[in-house]
Structure 1
Amino acid sequence: MRVLLSVYDSRGGVEPLAGLAVRLRELGAQVRVCAPPDEEFAKRLAGMGVQMAPVGPALRSLATGARPPGAAGFQQISAELVAAHFDTLAEAADECDVMLATGVLPAVASARSVADKLGIPYVYACYQAVTLPSPHHPPAARPFRPLPAEVSDHLALWDLDAQSANALFAEAINTHRAAIGLSPVDNIRDYAFTGRPWLAADPILGLWQEPADLEVVQTGAWLLPDERPLPPEVQAFLDAGTPPVYVGFGSMPTTGSHEMARAAIEAIRAHGHRALLSRGWADLALIDDQDDCLAVGEANHQALFRRVAAVVHHGGAGTTTTATWAGVPQVVVPQQTVDQTYFASRVAELGIGIAHDGPTPTTQSLSAALTAALTPEVRVRAAAVAATIRTDGATVAAKLLFDVADHAAGRQRPLHS
């Protein structure tokens, strides 16, 4: 079986797909991953032996570089992303038996369009329940399309969200569909998501609530044991003293990163701990040359988180799952997306950490959060929840993809819902 996995997302979105690719390959599939051409993504996939086809502009350059201003600039970038996906995926998916897509909406809508044109089955997957329409939670506002404050009914808000998605992306999607002989789509979001999306989240962290109109398939998170050794300087730092507190915001290009680093280091020192800063896309840096702090780049989070006293992070799906799996207390400082706020609330509800109030911690606010997180009760609870995390999600999803492809081959038509 030949599989195309398409992702246009940050590192937290690429990593699970790489895990799925490895499990598919173990089951005998030939796998190709379409992903942004960022060097760190390409290096990680190559290190796992996964073939990659770059698509679209580098995500880090979009997140941290200069952008065209306003709504017009956003739609220009979106249109370029759609064009890149129609072109790249049409070639990458040639002779494939099934396609799975995740990431931003214009990219996945483009992916399904290509799958339709080629006549191959398509699956949409996401890493958090809150991005799927449900009566139990509201949508996040889309760029330049605020939700009306006077509307509180969740389903009404999801209807407005579908309208916003059309306003932002339908013209570009339908223009390219027409160019390859496909009819226009009148609901871009629901078309991309399908009626049977996959939820690649652990049921403890990312539970899906019924009833809802969607038939959601929850596979569990797509985890893959990471056997990479820690960098020598990190290993030496860990061995030289008591467990440090880790601070990192992943692929979030936070503003005021110097002030955030200072607040974090001062709060951690106030608790008598050493600090380990992950530079990430925020470019966190040390504030002095004392030997109780270390700044690091790429590192194996699975190994690292098991060696620290607590993890201070942004609440991305990947980081939250890895920290929970490691059984370490967490302080979640959500930055700018609804899924990060959601995972912060789940960490607090589960009793395995603290949800920081607001995206910009001060020394005082972070010190208070660490006081609450670094208690014996939270440590015990974190260890207990870690034991419940499913580790077979990628294998479950890989086998399901084989089933989708086999079913479609028997019917000789795509299976979308």
Structure 2
Amino acid sequence: MRLLLSTIGSRGEAQPVTALAVQLKELGNDVRVVAPPDFEDLVTGNGIGFTPVGPVLRTVTAVQPKPEDLGRLAEESVREQFRVVSQAAQGADVLVAGGALQHATRSVAESVGARYVYASFCANTLPSPHHAPPAMLGRVPVNGTPEENLAQWEQHRQLFAASREVLNAERAKLGLDPVDDVRDHIFGDAPWLAADPVLGPWPGPGELVQTGAWLIDDQRPLAPELDAFLAGGEPPIYFGLGSMRGAQDAAHHAIAAARELGRRVVLQQGWAGLRLADDAPDCIAIGEVNQQALFRRVAVVVHHGGAGTTTTAAAAGTPQVVLPHMYDQYYWGSQVERLNIGRSAAAVTTEVLAKALQLHEEAAEVGTQVRTDGAKVAAERLQRIAGVNRAN
């Protein structure tokens, strides 16, 4: 059976989509991933067919677009999605949209007669009276009463309305009727939640399919230099911002705070190109790394609050400090606080690090409860869906 998995997000969406693709391939399916060009090596390195969509994110996110350009860029993204996904989806039995702003995938599924599944990687990206929407366009909603939360979700719905015209124009080219509610069209009637039920449970209303987080079983060894550094003293503090464009001084402040506590630092450079302030032997800068292996050997994980990094740190049983920048990251910071496995903060201070260092017992306990089979659960369910679709 043939399945197409699509995302236009950063590594926090491309990596779980790839994890699902790997599990689907192991079940004997023909699988292809559509994702930004940045993640070709990630996808093909796991033996999965790859089709690029859109520009290189690492280059695009380095420049802050002008407000007047946002509408044009959004329209270009929708048209590009329709062009690429339409070509890649021929013969597919199931199309899966992984993450936000997947304007084309459901429409293309309709046009080729395939089943459609929308998967979210965080509970607060799906409407509920029990939480506020994720941060978008610089707005950071705050949880309130159910009525207040629903009012915020209505505002969230309106953010999608700007793309209705271009979406319907592309649907017309496929011979499809127009849609009125863009957001609910994308989410579909039965969205999935690819998040760990302990770390990010669905609060309701109603039930949905919560598979657990989609994680790649990363078997890559740590670089010899990093392995030697880790073995050369007490577990260090890890600091990394993933695909966020963090300021250099954020890393320098984190290193200073760690040093005040007598701790060494592993600094992941990430898309921000973070650099060490000096060449002292108590710090090491690294690039791409097996986080699953690394996080088990550090004292605290300081990060931006992406779904994947939060889950990997939690599964490692290591306390964390979340420095949220955008979208769902504020939610993950609140969940870390709720479970008392770390802290959420605007910046790294000695006090914040000291509090996180005291939470090893709590983090270790939660680590034993985090599921690592979410991608397999989702793959097996999709296999059944694909079989039903083919039979019909």
- TM tier, shorter chain? over 0.9
Match of 1:247 among 239, 245, 249: 239
Distance 2:362 2:315 in 1: 12
Between 154-163 and 73-82, the greater mean CA deviation after superposition: 154-163
Kindly indicate whether the alpha-carbon contact (under 8 Å) linking 1:252 and 1:282 is maintained by their aligned counterparts in 2.
yes
**Residue aligning to 1:348:** 337
**Residue aligning to 1:222:** 214
Shift of 1:66: 4.9
Distance 1:147 1:22 in 2: 35
Distance 1:146-1:266 versus aligned 2 partners, 3 A rule:
closer
Distance 1:204 1:149 in 2: 20
2:295 pairs with 1:299: no
2:185 pairs with 1:191: yes
**Residue aligning to 1:405:** 386
Post-superposition Cα deviations, 1:100-156, rounded to whole Å, max 9, x if no partner, equal 012331xx2211111111111110001000000111112245438898999962223
Counting only pairs closer than 5 Å after superposition, residues 243-392 of structure 1 correspond to structure 2 as 243-254=235-246, 257-337=247-327, 339-356=328-345, 358=346, 361=347, 366-375=349-358, 378-392=359-373
Distance 1:243 1:331 in 2: 16
Distance 1:309-1:146 versus aligned 2 partners, 3 A rule:
closer
2:146 pairs with 1:157: no
Distance 1:240 1:156 in 2: 53
The amino acid across from 2:96 in the alignment is: L
Kindly indicate whether the alpha-carbon contact (under 8 Å) linking 2:239 and 2:266 is maintained by their aligned counterparts in 1.
yes
**Residue aligning to 2:55:** 57
Distance 1:90 1:320 in 2: 33
SS at match of 1:382: helix
Match of 2:74 among 64, 75, 78: 78
Kindly indicate whether the alpha-carbon contact (under 8 Å) linking 1:57 and 1:81 is maintained by their aligned counterparts in 2.
no
**Residue aligning to 2:202:** 208
The amino acid across from 2:369 in the alignment is: T
Distance 1:146 1:294 in 2: 34
**Residue aligning to 1:20:** 20
Distance 2:141 2:165 in 1: 21
Distance 2:43 2:59 in 1: 19
Post-superposition Cα deviations, 1:208-259, rounded to whole Å, max 9, x if no partner, equal 01225xx5210001122200011222112112222110000111112xx221
2:83 pairs with 1:91: no
Q: CA RMSD in A?
A: 1.9
Distance 1:182-1:278 versus aligned 2 partners, 3 A rule:
same
The amino acid across from 2:357 in the alignment is: L
**Residue aligning to 1:415:** none
Match of 2:128 among 128, 134, 144: 134
Kindly indicate whether the alpha-carbon contact (under 8 Å) linking 2:2 and 2:94 is maintained by their aligned counterparts in 1.
yes
The amino acid across from 1:169 in the alignment is: S
Distance 1:209 1:261 in 2: 35
Identical-pair percentage: 48
Shift of 1:205: 0.8
Post-superposition Cα deviations, 1:329-358, rounded to whole Å, max 9, x if no partner, equal 111111122x111111111111111111x2
Kindly indicate whether the alpha-carbon contact (under 8 Å) linking 2:99 and 2:118 is maintained by their aligned counterparts in 1.
no
Distance 1:192-1:402 versus aligned 2 partners, 3 A rule:
same
Distance 1:243 1:146 in 2: 34
Distance 1:66-1:348 versus aligned 2 partners, 3 A rule:
closer
SS at match of 2:7: strand
The amino acid across from 2:148 in the alignment is: D
The amino acid across from 1:165 in the alignment is: F
Post-superposition Cα deviations, 1:55-81, rounded to whole Å, max 9, x if no partner, equal 1111222211253x11x3111111111
Match of 1:175 among 169, 174, 181: 169
The amino acid across from 2:239 in the alignment is: V
Post-superposition Cα deviations, 1:291-334, rounded to whole Å, max 9, x if no partner, equal 11111110000001011111001111000000000011111111
Unaligned runs of 5+ in 1: 413-417
Unaligned runs of 5+ in 2: none
How many residue pairs match? The answer is 391
**Residue aligning to 1:47:** 45
Distance 1:150-1:98 versus aligned 2 partners, 3 A rule:
closer
Kindly indicate whether the alpha-carbon contact (under 8 Å) linking 2:304 and 2:324 is maintained by their aligned counterparts in 1.
yes
Distance 1:114-1:391 versus aligned 2 partners, 3 A rule:
same
SS at match of 2:195: coil
Post-superposition Cα deviations, 1:7-27, rounded to whole Å, max 9, x if no partner, equal 111111111111111111111
Shift of 1:280: 0.7
The amino acid across from 2:153 in the alignment is: W
**Residue aligning to 2:374:** 393
